[in-house]
């Protein structure tokens, strides 16, 4: 597959961590690799983005009302300005994990940038969301030739990433306000998908030359997590597979994941070399947590560099220090591409004790067409009680496999309703 034969690599900044269950936030990034391997894209849009499993205690999912700019130490206490300046502000790379559909996470990431500037650091900013072949667009933005409003069209954002650009606009606006150069980190358009179908050996010489020379493998502990994640989605992916029947799908998945993380680390290293600035990386939590993913590869490309990691914390018990060095507190919120935004918070008076609150519904969206309203309380998705946002993912996958709409049980004004939201299925004629 083109992976380095020696799986042993120097530990990422922060040292070795014992195995533990993977981060369970939605939109962590890893399932997008699954989507890139096998899906034409319409199914992913219908599901609102696949996500790792949710195993967290539902009672701990509602975070306290803390500003998204507030940073927390692993012990749970706030990170004071002096501690921030002596910690994150001294790093060569700061990896900011996220749940892609969570608006609060992106506000928090923009907040970290502002705090860095206040501490006298003006970093470069790298985006997982932008393929490397769109760097010329970002160069035009850096030169002041494009506005933030120009970027969705110029970057083909809806096609190349899919999550609403408005989620990421605060980060680009902060970069523009403070003159922070921005960089594209992801593989050139379509190459990760092609690797998933035909392997690295199936790329043309020109395509292979656009990728890092050595694709660095994941840590053994992460391989087991990726194997489990792949198994959870295997049945659905078989139906939508575009790869030849004789391909080892798991091996291809691991190759794409390794490509993705290696590419982002290599591009972040390039951004630092070109600008002489520290680099803030905006990426899914699955690429950041526990020193896996990007940090592990940076330990090879830039072994003397100091790497810091920041991850979301959803409330409940204190953050897990093995997950990241610093945390920002944001409630569990999911902005689905079905057009609904849901939050897992403490129930309001008169609402069911176990429910997901619909905070917004986009006009003209599938959710709106189904009759969902802001203020509704979703008590079940499919056959699953709405104990966490991850239930939506589980129910959507099951509905997609069965070829049926996503059924939501909704509590509204003292009545219980059942609403059905059709899911778009992969187009058989594309890619």
Q: Which of 238, 311, 250, 357 is nearest to 28 (CA)?
A: 311
Q: What is Dmax (Cα atoms) for the chain?
A: 63
Q: Where in the chain is the domain with CATH 2.30.42.10?
A: 338-421
Which of 152-161, 219-228, 232-241 shows the lowest per-residue confidence on average (mean pLDDT)?
Answer: 232-241
Q: Are strands 326-329 and 71-72 parallel, antiparallel or unpaired?
A: antiparallel
Convert the pLDDT of each residue in 235-289 to its tens digit. 655 555 555 666 777 888 888 889 999 999 999 999 999 999 999 999 999 999 9
Of 248-257, 307-316, 418-427, the range with the highest mean pLDDT is: 307-316
What is the per-residue DSSP string for 162-224? -S-HHHHHHHHHHHHHHT--EEEEEPSTTHHHHHHHH-GGGS-HHHHHTS-SSBPPPPHHHHH
d(CA 356, CA 117): 37
Q: Which residue has the tokens 């953050």?
A: 319
Q: Where in the chain is the domain with CATH 3.40.50.11550?
A: 30-332
Stated as kind and residue range, the H or E segment containing 357 is: strand 356-361
> For domain 30-332, which CATH number applies: 3.40.50.1000, 3.40.50.850, 3.40.50.11550, 1.10.1060.10?
3.40.50.11550
Convert the pLDDT of each residue in 12-48 to its tens digit. 333 333 333 333 333 334 444 444 443 323 333 333 3
**How would you class 304 by CB atoms within 10 Å of its CB: exposed for 0-12, middle for 13-18, buried for 19 or more?**
exposed
**Which is more confidently placed, 236 or 53?**
236
Which of 36-45, 59-68, 90-99 shows the lowest per-residue confidence on average (mean pLDDT)?
Answer: 36-45
Across the range 48-69, mean pLDDT stands at 42
The pLDDT assigned to 51 comes to 37
The CATH code of domain 338-421 reads: 2.30.42.10
pLDDT, the chain, mean: 80
Which of 223-227, 310-314, 342-346, 405-409 shows the lowest per-residue confidence on average (mean pLDDT)?
Answer: 342-346
């Amino acid at each position: 597959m083109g992976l380095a034969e020696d799986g042993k690599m120097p530990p990422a900044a922060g040292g070795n961590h014992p195995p533990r269950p993977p981060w369970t936030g939605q939109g962590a990034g890893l399932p997008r690799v699954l989507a890139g391997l096998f899906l034409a894209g319409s199914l992913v849009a219908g599901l609102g983005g696949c996500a790792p499993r949710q195993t967290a205690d539902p009672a701990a999912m509602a975070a306290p009302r803390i500003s998204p700019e507030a940073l927390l130490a692993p012990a749970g206490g706030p990170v004071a300005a002096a501690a921030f300046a002596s910690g994150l502000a001294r790093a060569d790379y700061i990896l900011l994990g996220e749940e892609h559909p969570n608006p609060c996470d992106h506000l928090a990431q923009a907040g970290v940038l502002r705090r860095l500037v206040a501490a006298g650091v003006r970093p470069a900013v790298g985006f997982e969301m932008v393929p490397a072949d769109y760097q010329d667009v970002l160069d035009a933005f850096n030169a002041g030739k494009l506005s933030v409003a120009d970027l969705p069209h110029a970057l083909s954002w809806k096609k190349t990433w899919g999550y609403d650009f408005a989620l990421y606009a605060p980060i680009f606006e902060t970069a523009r306000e403070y003159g922070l150069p921005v960089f594209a980190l992801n593989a050139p358009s379509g190459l990760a998908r092609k690797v998933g179908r035909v392997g690295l050996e199936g790329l043309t010489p020109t395509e292979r030359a656009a990728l890092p020379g050595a694709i660095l493998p994941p840590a053994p502990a992460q391989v087991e997590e990726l194997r489990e994640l792949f198994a959870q989605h295997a049945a659905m992916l078989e139906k939508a597979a575009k790869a030849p029947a004789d391909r080892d799908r798991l091996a291809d998945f691991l190759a794409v994941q390794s490509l993705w993380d290696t590419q982002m680390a290599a591009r972040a290293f390039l951004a630092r070399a070109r600008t002489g600035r520290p680099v803030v990386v905006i990426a899914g939590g699955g690429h950041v947590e526990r020193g896996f993913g990007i940090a592990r590869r940076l330990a090879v490309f830039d072994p003397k560099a100091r790497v810091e990691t920041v991850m979301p914390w959803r409330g409940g018990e204190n953050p897990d220090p093995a997950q990241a060095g610093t945390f920002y507190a944001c409630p569990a919120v999911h902005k689905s591409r079905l057009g609904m935004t849901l939050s897992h918070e403490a129930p309001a008076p008169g609402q069911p004790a176990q429910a997901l609150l619909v905070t917004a519904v986009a006009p003209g969206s599938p959710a709106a067409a189904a009759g969902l309203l802001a203020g509704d309380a979703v008590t079940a998705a499919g056959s699953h009680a709405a104990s966490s946002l991850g239930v939506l993912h589980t129910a959507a996958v099951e509905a997609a496999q069965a070829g049926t709409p996503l059924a939501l049980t909704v509590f509204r004004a003292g009545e219980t309703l059942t609403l059905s939201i059709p899911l778009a299925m992969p187009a058989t004629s594309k890619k």
